[in-house]
Amino acid sequence: MTDPKEISLPDIGDFESVDVIEILVVPGDEIKADDPLITLESDKATMDVPAQFGGIVREVTVKVGDKVTQGAVIALVDAESGSAAATPEQPISVQTPAPDRIATDSTGPQTAQAGHRSPPSLPPPVERSGDALPHASPAARRFARELGADLRTVRGSGPKGRILKQDIQNHVKNALSGTPAQTANSAPTSGIPAALQIDYSRWGEIDVQPLSRIQKRSGPHLHRAWLNIPHVTHFDDADITELEAFRQSLNADTREPTASITPLAFTLRALAGAVRQFPKFNSSLAEDGEHLVFRKYCNIGIAVDTADGLIVPVIRDVPVKGLIQLATEMKELSRKARSGALAPEDLQAGCITVSNLGSIGGVAFTPIINSPEVAILGVARARMTPVWDGQDFRPRLMLPLSLSYDHRVIDGAEAARFTVLIRELLEDTRRLLL
């Protein structure tokens, strides 16, 4: 047996060293000239290193994770007779995929000089977009084309989500067997596209901080609710001019500072009154998706903004409590939420939720339903607005209401009637006593 010939890394341009991210051959493989042997990746480009001649691979002298430079031996090959001299050199195929297309492999022949073989030079690298898709080497792309696989539907398991040949093989096997496969356009348990993995440090200094404990727990809950519930939001405005005057008079007569009545206390009473007349808003969809579970009690969650994130304590038995009692309980629950002193029972048994951003600002918003509830009422900041009374425009204090509801349980007309009732209860505080 003749001594094997070395295949070394050609000129890779201005790079001192480049990472080996994929080995495309194994000892014993029969290769032809220009067949890719390994895949390299710099911070700007991905490239396949082709064989300069054909033969049988005896040894691959690098492994994934190695850093290689020009002239490094990457494989030993038992060359075919005369193949080394007869085959023209080919440049390395550089892959810089654009976001809006799948780039194809390109190789352009270079004429070998007689009696002298110099390693080919790498073309100038083109900077790759941070959100380029799909993320695969030229060899993997070629392999996918041979199998008829769409790389946009393949989930990569390599570094930074790179699609490897094994990923393509598994994808094709799953497709042939009818087994659902995780894809690049799906989260592990749904058909939702996975978030792009972007290295933000390429553009400047960054600071990575962990999510708070509350955010880690509430984030998946909100995500699950948004994915599984068909949200619709109905908007309306309530004229609370008289309510606000009445509230201020009550506070002026109340000497106990802990009992200061807020507009939210009136909103809770109005919401409880509306739920009593529209019991479907106090229900939850059963697990079978074919029944509704109606509650005979009415507990209302109030979204509280804390330094660690949003948390929703629950006020129980709202219909039987007065404004002062509701105001007192809300203040205490908010204090406990911000100090981390809430007990588990303070967060349970909610029927419907209120998210109040009035103290911060905003015109309207779309609150996410607090599953398994079927609705949530958003309250924005009240604003003085000129309102036509039939004869003239008069300044009125208008409170924006945003009702998000589960369209599987509640239709648009019912949501509109529910919101109108809340508006009417707020506009005429005497009705809250009924």
Q: Which two tokens stand for residue 342?
A: 């809430």
Rounded Cα gap, residues 230 and 200, in angstroms: 33
Partner residues linked to 20 by β-bridges? 40
As a residue count, the chain comes to: 434
Task: Give dist(CA 183, CA 193) in Å, integer.
Answer: 8
> CA dihedral in degrees (235, 236, 241, 243; nearest 10)?
-80
What phi, psi does 121 have (nearest 5°)?
-95, 145
Helix axes 412-427, 241-253, angle to 10 degrees: 50
- Residue 407 annotated as catalytic: yes
Strands lying side by side in the sheet with 46-50:
67-68, 18-23, 36-41, 46-50, 93-95
Contacts (Cβ under 8 Å, ≥6 apart) of 429? 242, 243, 246, 266
Nearest 5 degrees, angle CA 215-CA 220-CA 222? 85
- Judging by beta carbons within 10 Å of its beta carbon (0-12, 13-18, 19+), is residue 356 exposed, middle or buried? buried
d(CA 134, CA 427): 56
Which of the residues 116, 231, 234, 407 is marked catalytic?
Answer: 407
Using the Cα atoms of residue 90, residue 92, residue 93 and residue 98 in order, give the sign of their dihedral.
Answer: negative
List the catalytic residues: 407
